[in-house]
Structure 1
Amino acid sequence: MIPWTELSLAALLPFILIGFTAQLIDSALGMAFGVVGTALLLVLGLPPASASAAIHAAESFTSGVSGVSHALQRNVDWRLFRRLVIPGIIGGAIGVFVLTSLANDIARPVVLTYLGAVGIYLLWRGARRPQTYRDLKFVGSLGLVGGVCDGSGGGGWGPIVTANLLAQGGEPRRIIGTVNASEFFVTVTIAAGFIGTMGWSTFGKVAIGLLIGGVLGAPIGAWLVRRLRAELLVTAAGALLLIASAYGFFALMFDPVPRFPGF
């Protein structure tokens, strides 16, 4: 834990802005707090494990606010919630072990390719296909895989779970609200794992700034998702996946991330 005297507005402001932006997108599209937040923290120079730990420490609170906001907006399908949450918790615990114990060089290109492909499909579906809602399959398996990727990479629950359920034909508002609500329990599990392996230092200046910004952004995103058209949500989710995938490959090929001292 860092000294409270270091928590000035100037020191917290970059992380407040990152948290607000990431959580606003996450609450509105059902994904991106981890993806956007981790990417921006890496740009500021944080090591991957530290960035993921800070993201999940803050997200333990912001995802709770987001889940309650979606419940109040009646965006949550509680039957789907029950099918997702237990596999997600198990997967999150496995993901923490993967990130803190094993190399991630092989898994990252595979996941990035997969997310890009799903993004292309969602763009096509949102623009050209009528929104027909079908029964959802492989929900538990998606929760497990999404939890593993989220714990091991700083983000992945939303891109994998939300994107797949949308691609299967789930109602966007219900999918986004339910995935956000179940994410709280997955994130708490992951954050507890990081605290157990890396100590309470994970909840420092970075996490506090992300927390403040995320709490401010969560209710706005939940309000937006009930008022945006389904095809717009699907298209925006696809575009976001493509951007995240492209940035990930760019970072892998050219390593454009600068390293600033002090983090």
Structure 2
Amino acid sequence: MRALLLLGLVGFAAQLVDGSLGMAYGVTSTTLLLAIGTNPAAASATVHLAEIGTTLASGFSHWRFGNVDWKVVGKIGVPGAIGAFAGATFLSSLSTEVAAPVMSLILLTLGVYILIRFTAFGLPRGNLGKPLRKRFLTPLGLFAGFVDSTGGGGWGPVGTPAILASGRLAPRKVIGSIDASEFLVAIAASVGFFVGLGSENIDFSWVAVLLIGGVIAAPIAAWLVRHIPPRILGSAVGGLIVLTNVRTLLRSDWIDAPGGVQTVAYLTIAVIWAAAIAYSVREYRKHKAQESVEAYEEELRKQEPTTSA
């Protein structure tokens, strides 16, 4: 019962992050499932089955708050589903000994990317209003869907920053559209895992608990996306993913690091993680202060003709 309650909290927290940041439900949930010794393919299958419900709830919630661009959903979601099915069948064919460190390496790479991307650069906002083309979204969807299945997460970490970097869509609509299109990816990945694994390796009680936690968090996250600082949240989540997957890799047969080396690695990552969060907080406050000054100056400019008259 305690394990199920913990999984429910994981599902809630992961969806809260995913719905407000546009990424990290699968990466966070799969990372924690791997940390407790779950078979990699079964962990990814469990998370993707739960995501069928959480992404449906999240997409609906984002739609209600006006955060979804359905043209983008169609252009990236279908190729994403194709890539996800291919990735699921590929992961199912790997042995556990090979799959566990491979998946942790993928998750670690995504975690480092999230940490650096949000800490150093925040969210770009140029080129708003320009259309997003199929020639950009189709290969992005194929790649993100494949990574999502093989890594147990990656649809958001790959898709969200790529579209944000284009600067052509408002951040809240990027997040809402990625969350809505992930419904197609979750279905395709789940079908792929059933083809490759069958159902005997999947604990459906875990799926249900993750799903319940995620569904409860979905509407809250859709509302928070307009208020929470994504830069700070991205730094926090990225550091957590890096720390957890470094732990998995250091304990794997690939490395099998001594205890002292592990301790030094964890402390180093913790210091970098704390510094990244502190830097993101400082930059966020600086940006907000600059916005306030610019708004005040704009208000003064608007009042000048009235004053002179």
- Which TM-score tier does this pair reach, normalised by the shorter chain? 0.7 to 0.9
> What is the CA–CA distance in structure 1 between the aligned matches of 2:69 and 2:6, rounded to whole Å?
35
1:70-149 equivalences under 5 Å are: 70-102=62-94, 103-104=98-99, 109=105, 112-113=108-109, 116-117=112-113, 119-126=115-122, 131-134=125-128, 135=130, 136=132, 138-149=136-147
Q: Deviations over 1:16-70 (max 9, x none)?
A: 1111111111111111111110111122221111111111111111111001000
Aligned to 2:191: 192
Give the drift of 1:108.
5.7
Residue 114 and residue 226 in structure 1: after superposition, are their counterparts in 2 closer, same or farther (change >3 A)?
closer
Asked whether 1:251 is paired with 2:243, we answer no
Describe how 1:151-162 pairs up with structure 2 within 5 A: 151-162=149-160
Q: Is the CA contact (8 Å cut-off) linking 1:92 and 1:150 kept in structure 2?
A: yes
Q: Does residue 226 in structure 1 map to residue 223 in structure 2? A: no
**SS of equivalent residue, structure 1 residue 28:** helix
TM-score by length of 1: 0.82
Name segments (4+ residues, structure 1) moved above 6 Å: none
8 Å CA contact 1:115–1:160 kept in 2: the answer is: no
- Superposed displacement of residue 124, structure 1: 2.1
Structure 2 runs not aligned, ≥5 long: 257-309
Identity, % of aligned pairs?
40
CA RMSD, Structure 1 to Structure 2 (Å): 2.5
Tell me which moved more, 149-158 or 233-242. Answer: 233-242
C-alpha displacement of 1:194: 1.5
- Tell me if structure 2 keeps the 8 A contact 1:116–1:241: yes
Does the CA contact (< 8 Å) of 2:84 and 2:148 recur in 1? yes
- Count matched residues: 243
Q: Distance in 2 between matches of 1:110 and 1:204?
A: 25
Q: Quickly say closer, same or farther: Cα 1:121–1:62, change in 2 above 3 A.
A: closer
Q: In the alignment, is the contact (CA less than 8 A) between 1:77 and 1:174 conserved in 2?
A: yes
Kept after mapping to 2: 8 A contact 1:159/1:241: no
Gaps of 5+ in 1: 1-8, 257-263
Distance in 1 (CA, whole Å) between partners of 2:173 and 2:63 is 10
Q: Between Structure 1 and Structure 2, whose CA radius of gyration is higher?
A: 2
2:259 maps to none
Q: Which amino acid is 1:180 matched to? A: D
TM-score normalised by the chain length of structure 2: 0.71
Equivalent in the alignment of 1:181: 180
Per the alignment, residue 261 of structure 1 pairs with none
Aligned counterpart in structure 1 of residue 234 of structure 2, from 227, 234, 237: 237
Shift of 1:165: 1.7
1:73–1:226 contact (8 Å) kept in structure 2: no
Q: Tell me if the contact between 2:107 and 2:241 (Cα under 8 Å) persists in the aligned partners.
A: no
Distance 2:75 2:234 in 1: 22
Contact 1:14–1:209, Cα closer than 8 Å, also in 2? no
Aligned partners of 2:92, 2:24: CA distance in 1, in Å?
Answer: 22
Q: For residues 44 and 70 of structure 1, do their structure 2 counterparts lie closer, same or farther at Cα, with a shift above 3 Å needed? A: same
Q: Secondary structure at the match of 1:56?
A: helix
Distance 2:31 2:60 in 1: 26
In the alignment, is the contact (CA less than 8 A) between 2:103 and 2:152 conserved in 1?
no
Counterparts of 1:133 and 1:181 in 2: how far apart (Å)? 23
Q: Tell me, in whole angstroms, the C-alpha distance in 2 between the residues paired with 1:114 and 1:158.
A: 10
2:115 touches 2:236 (CA, 8 Å); kept in 1?
yes
- What amino acid maps onto 1:56 in structure 2? H
